[in-house]
């Protein structure tokens, strides 16, 4: 009974906190168990069953097909994320020429899980074999490595890497570039403390086309550790393109950046014009050249400083820059030459650099050089350059170029202090000026080529100050010229055409060369008018080299549609007046002139007939036997037979009735009609010192 009345023992109540903790512990244990289970499943299976899921979500992220053709592994090993794929491929957009952006026979990598939790990508190691990349930029600027969401792919930091059998194909439609590169095998790692260690340089080799020209290249990143981490990168590169060799060495701010680069660039080739054409620009043609300069990029400017080198047999130094921020690229240059060989000027005005080079080499070898400046058209020689301007290149860029040459080596006339200021503004090319010193005088030219018009409008304005005629002729091996006169001149022509030959062949205007007072040997005066008597008298009196006064002279031509007519050509001395008639043509380069001297002195035996000057610019001819001279000879024979032998000299008698020209009109280079209309100077008038007057 006691047992029936004894109170039951009290049970303890569970507190709420204990229940919550128990639930959390149970949940965490469950999650951990599931994680351990998932880890175990992944570790045992290597995550191969996730291959379809990976392909699905990777394709969705990249917005293009991603495929794995071989083995696939995706698991924690043991704590970091392990990824392995065989025959992995990532497709390119449909517009690209290469079907795949990236392929690899094997990619084996491990990624830091801790960094992934905090939104960072950090590759602990990467083994890549048989990889290829198909990179392309189209004309609209789209590229193949920007995925969905307009996010370009970026390579994450890599601690250790091994890369073998890797290549890349790069296409840039805008610059007509198609490049294939093969990279040398790479092995490297980041040591504790963040120090990189890559054995050997990162080499590359390849080729393709750039601006539609084939090329090949080879090179290396000489600081591979900095290259991998995106730091300052040493580079050495050699490329061959369009008969041009390019060598680059120095430092880049990064493996794919040239902003702030510190490079030395050396180029060598047959014609510098070829290299400019590759860049869509134009430049004067040159003979074989080699140049070197420091190169850097600053914003939109590409700068070449400390430039040195040679083109042909001439040296070159200075600096240049290309500004790309405006409507058109602009070339700015300040260049100088110590000694400029005259042969190297030929290509600037349209002569073939290849022909000039062949002639130079033949002469150096002792052979007869081919006619480098002469071509044939219609069976006749032509010497005016016919190479056309590159009109498409003229509209591609602007230019402001200053060029100086201390000495021009001509082999004949000493020429110094050449100055050329070239400006190109929206297809209008101006040389303001082209100037140089010649034997104490100076020639200054202004040339305007306006390619905005069709056909190209051309204008030439060339002036020459007083140049000693005797020294000038001596320079051309005319040693016994016997003159102390000076010459000055002015050429003012305008025409149309895209070459020197075409523009002069259509030109109109005026050409004039004025001869000042001076002296001339008696011998030359008498021979020019075929005065045998006075020549013999001077010879017997040993006076052939006795100076006689030159009163004045002018060689003026009026040019219409490429045909130049003597207007007038007149030379007045104390003994005779010489006049030239006829024409020469810039169109076909023919010459049809005759020079006739009229004596101011009596002579019993003088030809009194014109001397013909004919042929072509490239092959002139002189013929002293004219129809008039033959007629005089025939008349002498008849008179000698019909009358007396003494009468035979009558056709050759010169009464010396020529009058002094009006030198004021001559020295103003007035037209023939104006000179003839002016009153003659009196023979006895004392000559006053003249001042050259040019129209």
CA distance 617 to 592: 11
- Inter-residue contact 346 to 372 (CB < 8 Å): yes
What secondary structure letter does DSSP report for 241?
A: E
Q: How confident is the model at residue 636 (pLDDT cuts 50, 70, 90)?
A: very low
CA distance 599 to 610: 13
Q: How many CB atoms lie within 10 A of CB 91?
A: 21
User: HSE (CB half, 13 Å, CA atoms) of 537?
Assistant: 12
In terms of average pLDDT, the best of 39-48, 323-332, 405-414, 423-432 is 423-432
Q: Where are the domains of the chain?
A: 40-174, 391-407+423-624+658-677
* 586 vs 299, higher pLDDT: 586
* Tokens 């041009």 sit on residue: 244
Return the closest-CA partner of residue 127 out of 83, 66, 90.
Answer: 83
The residues facing 490 across adjacent strands are: 463, 512
Instruction: Evaluate if residue 342 carries a pLDDT over 80.
Output: yes
Two tokens, residue 592: 């049809």
Return the closest-CA partner of residue 85 out of 67, 100, 98, 102.
Answer: 67
Instruction: Evaluate if residue 647 carries a pLDDT over 50.
Output: no
Two tokens, residue 610: 């014109």
pLDDT given at position 391: 77
Phi then psi for residue 508, to 5 deg, are -140, 155
* Tokens 């620009």 sit on residue: 281
pLDDT given at position 495: 95
- Inter-residue contact 417 to 436 (CB < 8 Å): yes
CA distance 424 to 418: 20
pLDDT given at position 411: 76
What secondary structure letter does DSSP report for 279?
A: T
CA distance 18 to 21: 5
Phi then psi for residue 94, to 5 deg, are -65, -25
Phi-psi region of 32 (alpha: psi -120 to 50; beta: other; left: phi over 0): alpha
Burial 523-541 (b: 16+ CB within 10 A, else e): bbbbbbbbbbbbbeebeee
Q: How confident is the model at residue 150 (pLDDT cuts 50, 70, 90)?
A: low
CA distance 412 to 472: 9
Q: Which pLDDT tens digit goes with each residue over 523-553?
A: 443 444 433 434 444 433 444 344 566 788 8
Handedness of CA 322, 327, 328, 330 (dihedral sign): negative
Instruction: Evaluate if residue 685 carries a pLDDT over 50.
Output: no
Alpha-helical (H) ranges within 338-431 are: 353-364, 391-394
CA distance 98 to 169: 8
pLDDT given at position 633: 47
Q: Which pLDDT tens digit goes with each residue over 53-92?
A: 999 999 988 889 999 999 999 988 888 889 999 999 999 9
| SS3 call for 525 | helix
CA distance 665 to 118: 97
CA distance 56 to 526: 105
* 308 vs 410, higher pLDDT: 308
Is-above-0.85 flag for pTM? no
Two tokens, residue 293: 């300069």
The mean pLDDT value for 410-425 works out to 89
CA angle at 417 for the pair 412 and 418, rounded to the nearest 5°:
85
Reported as type and span, the H/E element at residue 196 is strand 195-198
The mean pLDDT value for 415-431 works out to 93
How far is residue 453 from each of residues 388, 391, 429, 433, 562, measured CA to CA in Å?
A: 15, 11, 12, 22, 20
The separation between CA 254 and the C-alpha centre of its own chain, rounded to angstroms, equals 30
CA distance 625 to 634: 13
Q: Which pLDDT tens digit goes with each residue over 375-393?
A: 787 778 888 888 787 777 7
pLDDT above 90: percentage of residues in the chain: 32
CA distance 456 to 454: 5
Two tokens, residue 357: 């080079």
**65: preceding bond cis by omega (within 30 degrees):** no
Mean pLDDT, rounded, of the chain: 78
Q: How confident is the model at residue 182 (pLDDT cuts 50, 70, 90)?
A: very high
User: HSE (CB half, 13 Å, CA atoms) of 600?
Assistant: 17
pLDDT given at position 177: 84
Instruction: Evaluate if residue 677 carries a pLDDT over 70.
Output: yes
* 370 vs 579, higher pLDDT: 579
Which regions of 199-329 does DSSP assign to beta strands (E)?
202-210, 213-221, 233-241, 244-252, 262-269, 289-298, 301-311, 314-323
540 Cβ contact partners less than 8 Å away, ≥ 6 residues apart: none
- Inter-residue contact 666 to 693 (CB < 8 Å): no
Length of the chain: 695
């Amino acid at each position: 009974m006691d047992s029936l009345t004894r109170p039951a023992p009290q049970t303890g109540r569970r507190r709420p906190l204990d229940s919550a903790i128990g639930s959390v512990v149970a949940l965490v244990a469950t999650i951990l168990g599931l994680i351990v289970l998932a880890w175990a499943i992944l570790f045992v299976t290597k995550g191969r069953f996730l291959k379809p899921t990976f392909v699905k979500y990777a394709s969705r992220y990249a917005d293009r097909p991603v495929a794995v053709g071989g083995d696939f592994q995706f698991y924690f090993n043991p704590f970091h994320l392990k990824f392995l794929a065989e025959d992995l491929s990532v497709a390119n957009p449909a517009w690209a020429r290469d079907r795949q952006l990236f392929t690899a026979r094997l990619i084996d990598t491990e990624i830091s899980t801790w960094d992934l939790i905090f939104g960072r990508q950090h590759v602990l190691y990467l083994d890549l074999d048989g990889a290829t990349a198909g990179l392309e930029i189209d004309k609209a600027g789209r590229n193949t490595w920007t995925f969905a969401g307009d996010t370009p792919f970026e390579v994450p930091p890599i601690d250790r890497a091994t890369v073998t059998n890797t290549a890349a194909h790069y296409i840039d439609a805008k610059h007509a570039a198609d490049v294939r590169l093969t990279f040398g095998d790479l092995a490297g790692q980041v040591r504790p403390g963040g120090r990189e260690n890559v054995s050997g340089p990162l080499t590359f080799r390849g080729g393709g086309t750039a601006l539609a020209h084939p090329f090949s290249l080879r090179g290396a990143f000489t600081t591979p550790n900095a290259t991998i981490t995106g730091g300052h990168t040493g580079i050495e590169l050699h490329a061959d393109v369009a008969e041009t060799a390019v060598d680059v060495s120095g430092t880049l701010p990064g493996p794919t950046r040239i902003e702030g680069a510190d490079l030395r660039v050396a180029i060598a080739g047959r014609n510098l014009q070829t290299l400019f054409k590759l860049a869509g620009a134009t430049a004067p043609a040159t003979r074989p050249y080699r140049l070197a300069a420091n190169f850097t990029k600053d914003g939109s400017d590409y700068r070449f400083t400390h430039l040195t080198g040679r083109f042909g047999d001439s040296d070159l130094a200075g600096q240049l820059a290309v500004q790309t921020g405006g409507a058109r690229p602009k070339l700015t240059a300040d260049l100088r030459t110590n000694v400029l060989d005259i042969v190297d000027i030929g290509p600037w005005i349209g002569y073939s650099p290849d022909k000039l080079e062949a002639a130079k080499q033949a002469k150096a070898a002792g052979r007869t050089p081919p006619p480098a400046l002469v071509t044939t058209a219609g069976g006749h020689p032509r010497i005016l350059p016919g190479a056309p301007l590159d009109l498409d290149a003229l509209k591609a860029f602007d230019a402001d170029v200053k060029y100086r040459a201390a000495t021009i080596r001509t082999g004949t006339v000493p020429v110094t202090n050449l100055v050329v200021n070239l400006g190109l503004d929206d297809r209008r090319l101006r040389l303001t000026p082209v100037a140089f010193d010649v034997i104490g005088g100076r020639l200054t030219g202004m040339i305007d080529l306006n390619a905005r018009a069709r056909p190209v409008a051309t204008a030439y304005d060339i002036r020459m100050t007083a140049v000693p005629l005797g020294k000038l002729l001596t320079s051309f091996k005319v040693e016994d010229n016997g003159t102390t006169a000076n010459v000055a001149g002015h050429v003012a022509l305008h025409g149309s055409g895209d070459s020197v030959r075409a523009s002069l062949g259509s030109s109109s205007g005026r050409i004039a060369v004025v001869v000042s007072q001076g002296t001339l040997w008696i011998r030359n005066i008498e021979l020019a008018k075929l005065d045998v008597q006075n020549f013999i008298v001077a010879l017997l009196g040993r006076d052939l080299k006795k100076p006689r006064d030159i009163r004045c002279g002018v060689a003026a031509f009026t040019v219409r549609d490429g045909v130049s007519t003597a207007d007038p050509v007149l030379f007045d001395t104390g003994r005779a007046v010489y006049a030239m008639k006829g024409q020469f043509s810039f169109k076909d380069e023919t010459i049809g002139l005759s020079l006739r001297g009229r004596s101011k002195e009596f002579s019993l035996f003088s030809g009194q007939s014109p001397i013909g000057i004919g042929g072509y610019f490239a092959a002139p001819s002189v013929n002293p036997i004219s129809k008039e001279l033959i007629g005089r000879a025939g008349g002498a024979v008849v008179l000698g037979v019909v009358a007396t032998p003494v009468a035979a000299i009558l056709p050759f008698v010169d009464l010396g009735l020529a009058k002094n020209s009006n030198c004021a009109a001559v020295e103003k280079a007035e037209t023939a009609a104006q000179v003839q209309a002016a009153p003659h100077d009196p023979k006895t008038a004392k000559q006053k010192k003249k001042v050259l007057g040019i129209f």
